[in-house]
Chain A
Amino acid sequence: MSAPVPPILHVEHLTMRFGGLVAVHDLSFTAERGAITALIGPNGAGKTTVFNCITGFYKPSEGRIALQFGAEDLWNELDALTQSGKRGRVRRDGALYLLERMPDYLVSQRARVARTFQNIRLFPGMTVLENLIVAQHKTLMRASGWSVLGALGTRSYRNAEHAAIEKARYWLEQTGLTERADDPASQLPYGGQQRLEIARAMCTDPALLCLDEPAAGLNPSESAALSDFLRAIRRDHDVSMLLIEHDMSVVMEISDHVIVLDHGIKIADGTCEQVRNDPKVIAAYLGVEDEEVPAVEAEVGI
């Protein structure tokens, strides 16, 4: 084991029930700071439900989802915070939030969790540039003095807008979309839309970026380019990533840590190597009983 890395996200006993259906059952895991944590599993395993709980789109039936950025010693206050009934503890040098207590927009605005969607959700009629500017709403709203100063056209607001455009320009370069900046987002090819959605999420200045199947519908060379892009983001920015992905080439290449879900239950948790050789994982993916796994393994030559 390498030196312990402080976590960014700590999920404990997360359960999500929809009526009688248990989509996620008693899930606990930790995502390390600065790492890429992958959440994999067969279709219907509950991965997107976990995402929706973390990002506040669902209110979990049970469990605690704690996110912390900045000073690590804030983790010591986790229990006190839970007792207090408040949703977060903010200090000058960092913050600790209980995401299950926050509505979706605050999870993004305060707790700095950004996400992308399985079926891409851009603003199709707005330009590529506008998509990236809307993502900087929080900063610009504050700079515009909740519209008052902005309406008067003060210099401070114009500077803030200029900075926002510069940030957008940076991400346009990173995604290779500079030439398409003034085109409507819906006119981009599929791969471009996917990169734009990631760039838009990054424009919110997140501490944790949640990517829901970013490689869906990409061909092998595009998948490889996406892996490089995600690695570059992690290298250049202080951001941790949580990744749902079916494309194992991407998962195995960039993930530091893999969690496997099946029917809402965690069946494996470890490095790529550990997970790849876990009989339970193989069984879940190939759909056989545990006893038959050795036979299957022999067949596929592991």
Chain B
Amino acid sequence: MPDEAAARPNLIRALRETAVTALLAFGLFLPLIGFNTVQNIRNELVLETRWPLLLAIVAILAGLRFLHLVVVAPLMAERARASSRPATLPTTLPSWAMPAVIGFVLIYPLLAMLIAGPGAGKWIDNFGIQILIYVLLGWGLNIVVGLAGLLDLGYVAFYAIGAYTCALLGKQFDLSFWMLLPLAGILAAFWGVLLGFPVLRLRGDYLAVVTLAFGEIIRLVLINWKDVTQGSAGIGGLPRPTFFGLPFNASPDGFAARLGLEFSPLHRPLFLYYVVLAVVVLTAIVIGRLRQLPVGRAWEALREDEIACRSLGINTTNAKLAAFASGAFFGGLAGALFTARQGFISPESVNFSESALILAIVVLGGMGSTVGVAIAAVVIIGGTELLRELGFLKQIFGAEFDPAQYRMLLFGFAMVLIIAWKPRGFIGMREPTLVLKRRKAIDAELREEHG
């Protein structure tokens, strides 16, 4: 059989490459892992060897390499061949997907309480609320980066402005959370326009650098303007959302007492979850609408070709400002919700890695795709949170193994794998905003042919 004849040299080649990988790994990890220096009780440095661990790691790497060569690589090649054919693209998600997702997020906290009991707070707060806040942030940045094509590396600045608006105005004027929420969004949008003006002439890398600087300026102002922001110490004791004026505490005026319920610390996260969910749903509707409006189409046209836009009478300055302002608005809302969740804000929460994380969500989700960004937020934020729960690995690697230390490493691996698997993000398709006859999704690759 010709297939077998072709398979054999492939196998031999794979074995040879596996041997090379094993050798390389051995050479690399021998000094790093094979030897270990330990201080003994007399403060002497003792050289220890860790042969089993070294061999295990080399074996794992060699095995992975072999698996990749024999199984994954042919699959990828097959997929590449398949996608080069004019394939019919899957147009939309199945019709039951949307109701199912909505149903799930609606009952999620109740499910968590049912399964985890009193420990459900973590699942509602760290997973539910936090993921939803990042969904909001992802969507906000998606307007700027995904739709309008303006690379913004300082998006967290708007998140900070929203959060500090809430904190400062709340403390100073004793405004309720419900007043502060829209105010945070509006003020962030205002700053978005302010940032927009000087940077409108810039594109691509230059724009990215200036927005990066803007993010840092905001953070440094927050750290150094101690009279107002209390610097690195942060601001605590922020107003928490109330249930129509009823605070969530154990006092006789509290939510539980007034409604005749037994006080539970879960009431507040539960309520906040639904508040954040409502904001997220509203945002999804607004962004969906915006995409269908002339301003949304102008954003996408701007991403595709700015000069053509101007030749068609589109004021690209206004379109960019609108993109910056809307993106910043949702960032501000997310910031306000963040303070509601934490009750505390410090410049520590708004450093560059947050901007990078939000950008990673947008890129991984698929630029411009609302659904994709939501999926990416669940995967990334949910994933990093889940990685905290790796206690079971101790049973495999021994009691002194600390899985928390490997969290970011695994996170990095996962990102690389996702991008290798889906270079255009989870949803690399673009849904047309209008159809004449038949709805077809547009593969992101097509967008770049003429870029």
Q: In the bound complex, do residue B442 and residue A150 qualify as a contact, i.e. CB atoms below 8 Å apart?
A: no
CB within 8 Å of B: which A160-189 residues: 165, 168-169, 172, 178, 181-184, 186-187
CB-contact partner of A126 in B289, B301, B312, under 8 A: B301
Complex CA distance for A186 and B290, rounded to whole angstroms: 24
Complex CA distance for A238 and B301, rounded to whole angstroms: 27
Residues from chain B with a CB closer than 8 A to the CB of A55 are 311
Q: B220 to chain A: closest CB distance in Å?
A: 35
Residue A257 interfacial (CB < 8 Å): no
Contact with A along B152-194 (1 / 0, CB 8 A): 0000000000000000000000000000000000000000000
Complex CA distance for A61 and B436, rounded to whole angstroms: 46
Q: A202 to chain B: closest CB distance in Å?
A: 11
- Contacts A125-B304, A129-B435, A172-B436 given; does A105 touch B294 at CB 8 Å: no
Residue A229 interfacial (CB < 8 Å): no
Residues from chain B with a CB closer than 8 A to the CB of A183 are 440
Q: A124 to chain B: closest CB distance in Å?
A: 4
Which residue of chain A has the shortest Cβ distance to B305 in the bound complex?
A121
Complex CA distance for A133 and B294, rounded to whole angstroms: 8
Residues from chain A with a CB closer than 8 A to the CB of B304 are 122-126
Q: In the bound complex, do residue B436 and residue A137 qualify as a contact, i.e. CB atoms below 8 Å apart?
A: no
Complex CA distance for A55 and B311, rounded to whole angstroms: 8
Residue A204 interfacial (CB < 8 Å): yes
Residues from chain B with a CB closer than 8 A to the CB of A105 are 309-310, 313-316
Residues from chain B with a CB closer than 8 A to the CB of A211 are none
CB-contact partner of B295 in A57, A122, A141, under 8 A: A141
Complex CA distance for A135 and B315, rounded to whole angstroms: 12
Q: A276 to chain B: closest CB distance in Å?
A: 32
Q: In the bound complex, do residue A147 and residue B294 qualify as a contact, i.e. CB atoms below 8 Å apart?
A: yes
Which residue of chain B has the shortest Cβ distance to A205 in the bound complex?
B313
Residue A104 interfacial (CB < 8 Å): yes
CB-contact partner of A130 in B295, B313, B434, under 8 A: B434
Q: B180 to chain A: closest CB distance in Å?
A: 24
- Contacts A144-B294, A151-B286 given; does A125 touch B435 at CB 8 Å: no
- Contacts A182-B435, A186-B450 given; does A137 touch B313 at CB 8 Å: yes
Which residue of chain A has the shortest Cβ distance to B307 in the bound complex?
A121
Residues from chain B with a CB closer than 8 A to the CB of A172 are 436
Residue A268 interfacial (CB < 8 Å): no
Residue B132 interfacial (CB < 8 Å): no
Residues from chain B with a CB closer than 8 A to the CB of A115 are 311
Residues from chain B with a CB closer than 8 A to the CB of A187 are 446
Q: B416 to chain A: closest CB distance in Å?
A: 26
- Contacts A124-B304, A125-B304, A186-B449 given; does A165 touch B436 at CB 8 Å: yes
Residue A114 interfacial (CB < 8 Å): yes
Which of A165, A169, A181 has the largest count of B CB atoms less than 10 A from its CB?
A181
Residue A127 interfacial (CB < 8 Å): yes
Q: A148 to chain B: closest CB distance in Å?
A: 10
- Contacts A126-B300, A144-B294 given; does A137 touch B439 at CB 8 Å: no
Residue B433 interfacial (CB < 8 Å): yes
Residue A117 interfacial (CB < 8 Å): yes
Q: In the bound complex, do residue A125 and residue B430 qualify as a contact, i.e. CB atoms below 8 Å apart?
A: yes
Residues from chain A with a CB closer than 8 A to the CB of B412 are none
Residues from chain A with a CB closer than 8 A to the CB of B298 are 134, 137
Residues from chain B with a CB closer than 8 A to the CB of A144 are 293-295
Q: How many residues of A contact B (CB 8 A)?
A: 45
Q: In the bound complex, do residue A141 and residue B294 qualify as a contact, i.e. CB atoms below 8 Å apart?
A: yes
Residue B81 interfacial (CB < 8 Å): no
Q: In the bound complex, do residue A182 and residue B305 qualify as a contact, i.e. CB atoms below 8 Å apart?
A: no
Q: In the bound complex, do residue B312 and residue A134 qualify as a contact, i.e. CB atoms below 8 Å apart?
A: yes
Which residue of chain B has the shortest Cβ distance to A160 in the bound complex?
B294
Which residue of chain A has the shortest Cβ distance to B442 in the bound complex?
A184
Residues from chain B with a CB closer than 8 A to the CB of A153 are 289
Q: A38 to chain B: closest CB distance in Å?
A: 20
Complex CA distance for A138 and B294, rounded to whole angstroms: 9
Residue A271 interfacial (CB < 8 Å): no
Q: In the bound complex, do residue A109 and residue B313 qualify as a contact, i.e. CB atoms below 8 Å apart?
A: yes
Residues from chain B with a CB closer than 8 A to the CB of A109 are 313, 315
Contact with B along A99-127 (1 / 0, CB 8 A): 00000111011000011010001111111
Residue A47 interfacial (CB < 8 Å): no
Complex CA distance for A184 and B446, rounded to whole angstroms: 8
Residues from chain A with a CB closer than 8 A to the CB of B267 are none
CB-contact partner of B297 in A104, A130, A181, A184, under 8 A: A130
Q: B51 to chain A: closest CB distance in Å?
A: 55
Q: In the bound complex, do residue A169 and residue B294 qualify as a contact, i.e. CB atoms below 8 Å apart?
A: no
Residue A260 interfacial (CB < 8 Å): no
Which residue of chain A has the shortest Cβ distance to B432 in the bound complex?
A127
Q: B292 to chain A: closest CB distance in Å?
A: 8
Complex CA distance for A126 and B312, rounded to whole angstroms: 15
Q: A156 to chain B: closest CB distance in Å?
A: 14
Residues from chain A with a CB closer than 8 A to the CB of B312 are 108, 114, 134-135, 137, 200-201, 204
Q: In the bound complex, do residue B313 and residue A138 qualify as a contact, i.e. CB atoms below 8 Å apart?
A: yes
Which of B293, B311, B448 has the largest count of A CB atoms less than 10 A from its CB?
B311
Residue B437 interfacial (CB < 8 Å): yes
Residue B444 interfacial (CB < 8 Å): yes
Q: In the bound complex, do residue A121 and residue B311 qualify as a contact, i.e. CB atoms below 8 Å apart?
A: yes
Complex CA distance for A108 and B434, rounded to whole angstroms: 24
Q: In the bound complex, do residue B433 and residue A108 qualify as a contact, i.e. CB atoms below 8 Å apart?
A: no
Residue A140 interfacial (CB < 8 Å): yes
Complex CA distance for A165 and B438, rounded to whole angstroms: 14
Complex CA distance for A168 and B434, rounded to whole angstroms: 12
Q: In the bound complex, do residue A108 and residue B301 qualify as a contact, i.e. CB atoms below 8 Å apart?
A: no
Contact with A along B410-451 (1 / 0, CB 8 A): 000000000000000000001011111111101010111111
Complex CA distance for A124 and B305, rounded to whole angstroms: 9
Q: Which residues of A contact B (CB under 8 A)?
A: 55, 57, 104-106, 108-109, 114-115, 117, 121-127, 129-130, 133-135, 137-138, 140-141, 144, 147, 150-151, 153, 165, 168-169, 172, 178, 181-184, 186-187, 200-201, 204
20 contacts between A and B (CB under 8 A): A105-B314, A105-B316, A115-B311, A121-B305, A122-B305, A125-B304, A125-B447, A126-B304, A127-B432, A129-B432, A133-B297, A134-B298, A147-B293, A151-B286, A165-B436, A178-B436, A181-B435, A182-B436, A184-B447, A204-B313
Which 3 residue pairs spanning A and B have beta carbons closest together? A125-B447, A109-B313, A108-B313
